[in-house]
Structures are given as C-alpha cells and as structure tokens.
Copies of this chain bind each other. A is one copy, B any other.
Amino acid sequence: MSIADTGEFGLISRVVARLDAGPKALLGPGDDGAVVAAPDGRVVASTDVLVEGRHFRRDWAGAAEIGRRAAAANLADIVAMGADPTALLVALCAPTDLDVAWAEELAEGLAAETALVGAGVVGGDVSASPTLMIAVTALGDLGGRPPVTRDGAQPGDIVALAGRTGWAAAGYTILSRGFRTPKALVEAYRCPQVPYAAGPRAAAAGATSMIDVSDGLLQDMGHVATASLVAIDLRTEAFSVPDQMRDAATALGVDPYHWLLAGGDDHALAATFPPGVTLPEGWREIGSVHDGEGLTVDRKPWTGGTGWDHFR
C-alpha cells in the first residue's frame, strides 16, 4: 500500500501510532503545535535535513536505520550544546508511491533513537514530494548550565573526543564500492552510535567549547578554531586504527587516517577543556589548543580532504 492510498491523514495516523511523545511532552502530536517542558526557561533548538541520494540511499540502509540516523544527527547537535534532548519534530516529504510500511519503519527508527535519550517525537508534517526528504528539529533543555558553544576554546586547552570517528566514512566507502562487509563498518554508516551522555557531562565538567562531529573532525574542529580565534593541533598517535578498519583500508587502497580525521557522520563529540581538568567518562585527549589560527595534524598542515560540502 502506498502513501497515496492512505492519504495525508491516514499516513499521519499510521506514523503517529509508532511514535512516543516522551516524558517531556505536555501535549503531543495532533494539534497545531506541541507543548514541551522547558524547565530551564531556555530551549536549545537545531534543525538538520536528510535528502535521499545526498544523505542516504534506500538500497544502502533500511527505513528504521535511516530514521535512527535522522534522529541521531539532530540529537547529537543538542547534546553538543551541553543540553539534554527533550523532543523531536519531523517533516517527511515523500513520493506518493512510497510504501506506507517504509514510512512506518522510519517512524519506528526515529522513535527508538529518540527514546535512547529520554526524549520523544512530539509533532511534524508530511507532504508529497518527488524527492524523499526528512527534516528533523530537535529541542533540548540546558538544566541550568550555560550552553557550550564553538567559540570558547582557549590556548592551553586540551582537545578531547567522545565516541568514534572514521567508522561511518569507512562504511560509506565500502558501500560506494559495491561491497556490504565488514558489517561493523557498514552498520556504523547506516546507524551512528552517538555518545549522547558525553555532551551534558562535558558541559558539567567545564568544557570550554564543544561541537558535533558531523562533517569530519578536521572540518568541524576547524570551525571551533575559527570561532575561538585559536589554533588547534590534533595528534595522530591519539587515534589507533581498529583492525577491521585497517583491513578495509588496505583492501580499498585508502589511508585509514583519512577516514579517522576527515570522515563525517559518526556524530562523535569533540570538545576543549581547561588544562589540568580530569576528563569526564567517555572522553579522551586527542590534541591541544594554541595561539594562532587554523588546524594542524602533528603540528603540520593536513594535506588530505577535510570533510563534506553538501553542494559539491
């Protein structure tokens, strides 16, 4: 059955049946707007869009995995501000011949990923469109903490990472060459494992800046360096190449450090901390902040690629 058969309201009711508005929803889907608790008196909000052919392929990942990824990309932005996610809103644009079961599985994936952080899906919109597209807005609560922005890194700070990098990029390369294994790398591309708890924990520990690594560590830490008016150096010795990644890199003729340092989509969190701080659970040191500008790797300019530009 296609979504043309169910119609707009039929699709909405089938999708909403698979969602949970979560504990922070004071009013869930079904009205003009949802009402979400914002006990801090401030709300953190972020929007990320996924377009078929650009950000996902239906032959590379299942609907539930795509739903998880759409949620993860947005939830990661909220925790990267040091906030606790409270709610998602989802706009789905889909061709009228889309199987309604695909939309239902997408909703299940969105719900499952969102439940990981104690949030829920509180609203959204659907429309027919020649291009399949998922736009998600995530909301979060700062719990009395100041937001952790990109512009607070100070010379002398430690650069630290929570979560993993390079896995999704390796999976993407593997899929784009027509392979389906190693499974662990392909799964990482299909559905990131975001270290959600590490974001608020870094905020509580006094992180001076933080960012969600969505476009690659070099590009995203470059944003931090630019915003903070500092230089940032990453140390390759802080990154060990996992065996599966090394094997895949050798087989595909890729430098695994390109995946580790320039690959996006794992939604690791990168942050800077004052010198001498005890890094909170889940964080490890990967570099340092200096006077100057720009990003270096082992104190030298990086000569590989730096990440994604979604128009090129």
What is the interface of chain A, defined by CB distance below 8 A to chain B?
A: 3-4, 6-9, 11, 26-27, 30-51, 53-55, 76-78, 80-81, 83, 87, 89-91, 93, 96, 122-131, 133, 135, 137-140, 142, 147, 149-150, 210-212, 227, 309-312
Contacts and interface: CB of A to CB of B under 8 A. Distances in A.
A89 B55 contact: no
How many copies of this chain sit in the oligomeric assembly? Answer: 2
B311 A122 contact: no
Contacts of A310: 8, 126-128
B90 A51 contact: no
A46 B32 contact: yes
26 contacts: A6-B311, A7-B311, A8-B310, A31-B149, A32-B46, A32-B80, A32-B81, A32-B212, A33-B44, A33-B78, A33-B140, A34-B44, A35-B42, A35-B142, A45-B89, A45-B123, A45-B137, A46-B89, A51-B128, A53-B130, A89-B137, A91-B91, A125-B135, A129-B133, A131-B131, A133-B135
A127 B38 contact: no
B35 A129 contact: no
A138 B40 CA distance: 19
Nearest to A47: B89
A75 B147 CA distance: 26
A41 B41 contact: yes
A38 B53 CA distance: 37
A198 to B, nearest CB: 14
A39 B36 contact: no
Contacts of A80: 32-33
B54 A127 contact: yes
A35 B81 contact: yes
Given A81-B33, A81-B35, A311-B8, A129 B54 contact: yes
